[in-house]
Amino acid sequence: MPAPISEPAVDAPHDAEASLETNKASIRTASKAVQEELRNRAESAAEESKEILQATALMAGDPMLIKAAIKLLSPDAPGGPRSPERAIWEAGQTVANTLTALGGYMAERATDVLDVRSRIVAALQGLPVPGIPVSDVPYILAATDLAPADTATLDPAWILALITSDGGPQSHTAILARMLGLPAVVAAAGVNGIADGTEVYVDGAAGSITTNPDDALRATAATWAAQASQIPAFSGENFLSDGLHIPLLANVGTGEDALKAAAAGAEGVGLLRTEFCFLDRESEPTVEEQITAYGGVLAAFPGKKVVIRTLDAGADKPLPFLTVADEHNPALGVRGYRTDTTSPGVLERQLQAIAMATAAHDADVWVMAPMISTAEEAANFTAMARAAGLATAGVMVEVPSAALTASAILGEADFASLGTNDLTQYTMAADRQLGPLATLNDPWQPAVLQLIKLTADGAFQAQVTTGLPKPVGVCGEAAADPALAVVLVGLGVSTLSMSARALAPVAAVLTTVSLADAQRLAAVALHAKSASAARQAVREQLPILEQLGL
C-alpha cells in the first residue's frame, strides 16, 4: 500500500500574501471535496461499507477539526500562522491525541481522524487521495493499518490476503477481513519492510508470513484455494454429527443485511444492532421511524428467531442526545443499558417501538440489553421489556461480573448472549485496537473461555432453580472461527451468531463433530497455558480444517 501522506514541514513555504479568508476557504473547500469523494464512493458500495464511508465523510466535515485548523491560520496563533496544510495536520493530531488519551473505543476513532486529515492535506496539495492501490493482478495488501474508509473498499476479487504491522485480532481491520473471507495477519512485525513486488505466503490460521516462499508453500497455497472453493453452501439447518441441533444465526445491522443473511441460509438473527437507526442524528428517532427500521429486518425472517440488542450507545458510538461527551474513560462509562440512568425514556421508547414492530410481523422476537453487570440491572431491564409487551428478554454478557454471577442474572432474564469482543477486552484489560496487546486480546485466552463456561454453568443452575430454559448464545466474532465454534459448543453454548459469510465454513466443521467431541476439545482448550496453545491443540484434533482449507 502506498506510504501515508507525508507530514507538511513546519516551515514549509506557503503563500504569505494569501489572505486569512482565502486560507480558511481553502480548508473548507478541501474538506467538502473529501466529503463529496467519500459520499460518491458510498453510493456504489455494499451496505456495510456504505455506512463506514458515510461516517468518514461526516468526520471530514467535523466542526471541531475544521475550527481547530482555522484557528492555526491566524497570525495570533501560538507559534505564528500555519499554512493550510500544516494547520489541518496539527489540528488533526490534536484531536486524535485527545481521543487516544481517552483509551478504549475512543482510541479507534483517532484512526478515523488521522485518515481524514491525510485526505484533506492531499486535497490541499493536489495529490491523489490515499487509499487501496489499484492493480491489474490480484495481490496481498501490506500496510501499517487500514482506516475504516479503506477497509470499506477492500475487494476480495483482487486482494488475496491482508497483512498489517498495527491493529489487533479484534480491531476493525481484522473483523472486516474475516467478514470478507480474507486471510489476514495483523500486528505483524516487519510488514512495513516488505518491498513491493515481493512474493509472500500468508497463513491466516497460524498467523504467519513468509517472504519468498518455496515450491512446497506455493503448492500449499494452491491446495488451500482449491479446498476453500469446495466448502458447501449452508443448508439452512446445522446439526452436529450426533444429530444435536445447534442453530447458526446471523449478525445484522440493517434490513439489507438481513436479506443477505436469509439468502445465505441463516436460521435467524442472533444480533440485530439497532445503532444504525440512531447514529449520525442530532435527535432521537421517533418511535415510528424505529418501527419501520426494525420491520425491515423482521420481514426477512418470518417465523424465525430475531434477537434485537437495544441501543449500545456510548464509547465508540457517542450520541449527542444520549451520551456524556466528556467521560475520561468511555469504555468503562455510561454506555449500553447504563444510558437509561442518565437519559431515561430513550430505552423505554425503543422497547415500545420493538414491541410494535413485533406485532406487525411474524418473527419470533427476543430482546436483550448490552452492558448488564448485575442481577438487579437484569431484573430492571426484564421488567421494562415485559411492560412494553415483549415476551422474551435477555442480557448481553460482556463484562466479567455478568459471567461470574450468571446464575443470579439468569434467574431474572430469559437468556444470555455472549459478546466475546468486549468480554475478551475487559477480561484481559487489553485495548483491542492496540497491536502490542494482540496476544492478550484473543478470544482463545483460557481466562475468557473459563468465563464462557461459567456463564453456561450459571445458566444451567438458573434453569434448575426456575424450571425454565435459559439458553446461552454467542454473537461475538469468536463464533465465526470454525475451530473456536466447536469449543464454544463444548462449553455449553446452544446457538452461534456470525456474519453471513461465516455460516458455511462453521457449519461444515460442526457437522463433523459430536457433542462429546466438542466437550473433549473444550476441556483441551480450557487447560491450555495460552491462547496460541489452546488454538493449536484444538486445530490439531480437527483435521477437517486442513481438508477444507480453513
- Active-site positions read 172, 475
How many residues appear in the chain? 550
* Residue whose C-alpha cell reads 442518565 in the numeric block: 342
Q: How far apart are CA 18 and CA 372, in angstroms?
A: 56
Distance of CA 51 to the CA centre of its chain: 13
Q: Which residue in 473, 469, 470, 456 sits closest to 522, CA to CA?
A: 456
Count other C-beta atoms under 10 Å from residue 227's C-beta.
14
The Cβ of residue 463 has, within 10 Å, a number of other Cβ atoms equal to: 16
What separation, in Å, do the N-terminal and C-terminal C-alpha atoms of the chain show? 26
Q: Where are the extended beta strands (E) located within 105-224? A: 139-143, 159-164, 184-185, 200-203, 208-211
Q: Residue 290 carries which side chain, given as an amino acid letter?
A: Q
Per DSSP, helices labelled H in 229-281 are 255-263
| Separation of alpha carbons 179 and 282, rounded Å | 30
CB 420 within 8 A of CB 485: no
The stretches of 155-303 forming alpha helices (DSSP H) are: 172-180, 215-228, 255-263, 287-298
